[in-house]
């Protein structure tokens, strides 16, 4: 397996995959999950969501260690969201299976409350700047300190400027990277957490869920950093709003905690500086763009792109990945050719830190489906570039449409693929203006903490 790992490190996932398939035929049963895990990594580096999902499922099935089995199955659930053929029933069933991996989990005994303030504990795989951080930052920096005591619990020892900002603003910050999940849960319980808000969901192998399973807090909530049901009985509520939640509540293990808007976007300093310094290029012909993770690019999406380019003479499209991997760049070029799109009308770029400059070149972002952009959609609007979205039926596939709705740009929401192609073909480049509901972080914080306070008043000191 060391040779396969070396191939992966060198950016040669196809060679790694070929090596791993040979190893799998000879692997001891106790080592099979390790091979499947690496196969999943290889498929990720090839932007093959279906292959990755199957590999993670196989890893979970062959692993005998419960902690890592849960992590593999979290990766599997996350990968399922990339697949267009996966519906609400399949996702809900996968979430139920995940919950069954906790059938023997025992919740921690509760402790009496020791503070008059409501203690809200946020737990995340890390508190590094990220797409998710752009939506939850203000929850940890702008709360009412007279009424609430806020702690942050990181599963990683890594830090950046965002981490330092969180450290400065919360009442207490904890690095739990050197202790076990159970010890972390005990520490949260002993710190007197009334509400545990887990921001990870099934990202990063679902590590935050493995801690929430111990029920260290009286009320436990998921959302913002994750976009779908966790499936875990230990999570009481999922933060959402009426647009996202409509018609899908029966597929969630959690009760819905519904607020006016389930998030608010806040650009970081780098984004603010880039916007101020970004020169706008006037394109002679329309330039479309897609700056989403290449794993989100499906055959149906590329078919729509082909029809749009055919309908708009001399137009082109820029694709940029969220990773710098040459292997994924090569794979997308092959998919584009297979879809019948002229490569002369396409620019395929690897992920890079200076991607903000792309917004100066693009007239309209063509959002992916069914897995839409989140922070990338909000960021494009912030830079003044409109985004065309195909509204899905599931909670996670409505995220892009919800961002446009909050921005007051419903005209850019398509109801089906034909409508998506027509709206793109009829588009005329223009400056957009969006409402401040998308970036109204003060209202978001006020509404959510108001709900927390309501919990307290309704249930009393015991939060029963």
Confidence at residue 246, expressed as pLDDT on a 0 to 100 scale: 86
Alpha carbon 273 to chain centroid, angstroms:
25
What Cα–Cα distance (Å) separates residue 244 from each residue in 249, 256, 258, 325, 400? Answer: 10, 11, 10, 33, 10
* β-pair partners for 422: none
Q: Among candidates 69, 71, 3, 78, which has minimal Cα distance to 42? A: 3
Q: What are residue 198's DSSP bridge partners?
A: 123, 222
The pTM of the whole model exceeds 0.85: yes
Decide: 369 and 300 in contact? Cβ < 8 Å: yes
436: pLDDT strictly greater than 70: yes
Angle between helix 49-62 and helix 66-80 axes, rounded to 10 deg: 160
Taking only the tens place, the pLDDT of each residue in 267-314 is 999 999 999 988 877 778 899 999 999 999 999 999 999 999 999 999
Q: Which distant-in-sequence residues (6+ apart) come within 8 Å of 192 by Cβ?
A: 111, 113, 114, 115, 119
CA distance 93 to 252: 10
Look at residue 459 in the predicted model and tell me its pLDDT.
Answer: 64
Report, as an integer, the average pLDDT of 440-446: 97
pLDDT tens digit sequence for 43-74: 999 999 999 999 999 999 999 999 999 999 99
What pLDDT is stored for residue 235 in this prediction? Answer: 98
What percent of the chain stands above pLDDT 70? 99
pLDDT reading at 253 higher than 90? yes
Exposed / middle / buried, residue 460 (Cβ in 10 Å: 0-12, 13-18, 19+):
exposed
Does residue 457 have a pLDDT over 90? no
CA dist 45 → 3, 8, 16, 17, 136 (Å): 16, 8, 10, 10, 28
HEC assignment per residue over the chain? CHHHHHHHHCCCHHHHHHHHHHHHHHCCHHHHHHHHHHHHHHHHHCCCHHHHHHHHHHHHHHCCCHHHHHHHHHHHHHHHCCCCCCCHHHHHHHHHHHHHCCCCCCCCCCCCCCCCCEEEEEEECCCCCCCCHHHHHHHHCCCCCCCEEEEEEECCCCCCHHHHHHHHHCCEEEECCCCCHHHHHHHHHHCCCCEEEECCCCHHHHHHHHHHCCCCCCEEEECCCCCCCCCCCCCCEEEECHHHHCCCHHHCCCEEEECCCCCCCCCCHHHHHHHHHCCCCCCCCCEEEECCCHHHCCHHHHHHHHHHHHHCCCCEEEEECCCCCHHHHHHHHHHHHHCCCCHHHEEEECCCCCHHHHHHCCCEEECCCCCCCCHHHHHHHHCCCCEEEECCCCCHHHHHHHHHHHCCCHHHEECCHHHHHHHHHCCCCCCCCCCCCCCCHHHHHHHHHHHHHHHHHHHCCCCC
State both tokens at 171: 């009442």
Mean pLDDT of 217-236: 96
Per-residue confidence (pLDDT) for residue 460, from 0 to 100:
59
Q: What is the number of alpha carbons within 13 Å of residue 13 lying toward its C-beta?
A: 20
Which pLDDT value is given to residue 222? 98
> Is pLDDT of 464 > 60?
no
Percent of all residues in the chain with a pLDDT value above 90, rounded to a whole number: 90
**For residues 164-172, average pLDDT:** 98
More confident residue, 163 or 455: 163
Each residue's pLDDT tens digit, 15-30: 999 999 999 999 999 9
CA–CA separation, 231 vs 140, rounded Å? Answer: 26
Q: Across the chain, what does the average pLDDT equal? A: 95
The average pLDDT across 345-366 equals 95
Contact (Cβ atoms closer than 8 angstroms) between residue 445 and residue 142: yes
Q: Comparing 132 with 436, which gets the higher pLDDT?
A: 132
């Amino acid at each position: 397996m060391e040779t396969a790992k070396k191939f992966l490190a060198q950016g040669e996932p196809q060679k790694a995959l070929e090596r791993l398939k040979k190893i799998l035929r000879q692997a001891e049963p106790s080592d099979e999950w390790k091979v499947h895990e690496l196969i999943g990594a290889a498929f990720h580096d090839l932007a093959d969501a279906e292959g990755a999902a199957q590999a993670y499922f196989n890893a979970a099935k062959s692993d005998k260690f419960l902690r890592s089995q849960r992590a593999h199955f979290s990766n599997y659930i996350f990968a399922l969201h990339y697949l267009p053929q996966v519906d609400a029933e399949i996702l809900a069933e996968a979430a139920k299976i995940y919950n069954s991996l906790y059938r023997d989990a025992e919740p921690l005994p509760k402790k009496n409350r020791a503070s008059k303030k409501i203690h809200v504990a946020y737990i995340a795989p890390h508190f590094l700047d990220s797409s998710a951080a752009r939506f939850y930052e203000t929850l940890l920096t702008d709360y009412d300190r007279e009424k609430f005591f806020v702690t942050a619990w990181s599963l990683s020892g890594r830090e950046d400027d965002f981490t330092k900002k969180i450290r400065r603003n919360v009442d207490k910050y904890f690095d739990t990277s050197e202790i076990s999940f159970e010890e972390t849960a005990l520490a949260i319980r002993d710190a007197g957490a009334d509400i545990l808000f887990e921001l990870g969901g099934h990202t990063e192998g679902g590590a935050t869920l493995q801690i929430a399973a111990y029920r260290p807090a009286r009320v436990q909530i998921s959302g913002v950093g994750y976009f779908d049901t966790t499936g875990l009985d230990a999570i009481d509520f999922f933060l959402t709003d009426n647009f996202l939640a409509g018609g899908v509540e029966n597929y969630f293990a959690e009760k819905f905690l519904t607020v006016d808007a389930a998030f608010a976007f806040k650009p970081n300093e780098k984004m603010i500086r880039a916007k101020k310094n970004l020169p706008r290029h006037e394109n002679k012909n329309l330039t479309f763009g897609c700056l989403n993770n290449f794993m989100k690019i499906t055959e149906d999406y590329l078919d729509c792109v082909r029809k749009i380019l055919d309908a708009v003479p001399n137009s082109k499209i820029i694709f940029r990945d969220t990773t710098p991997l040459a292997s994924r760049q090569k794979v997308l070029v092959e998919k584009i050719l297979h879809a019948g799109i002229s490569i002369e009308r396409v620019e395929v770029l690897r992920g890079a830190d200076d991607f903000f400059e792309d917004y100066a070149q693009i007239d309209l972002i063509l959002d992916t489906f069914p897995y839409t952009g989140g922070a990338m959609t909000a960021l494009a609007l912030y830079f003044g570039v409109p985004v065309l979205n195909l509204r899905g039926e599931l909670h996670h596939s409505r995220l892009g449409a919800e961002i446009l709705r909050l921005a007051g740009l419903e005209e850019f929401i398509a109801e089906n693929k034909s409508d998506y192609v027509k709206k793109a073909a009829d588009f005329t480049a223009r400056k957009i203006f969006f409402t401040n509901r998308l970036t109204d972080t003060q209202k978001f914080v006020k509404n959510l903490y108001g709900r927390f306070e309501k919990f307290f008043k309704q249930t009393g000191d015991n939060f029963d």
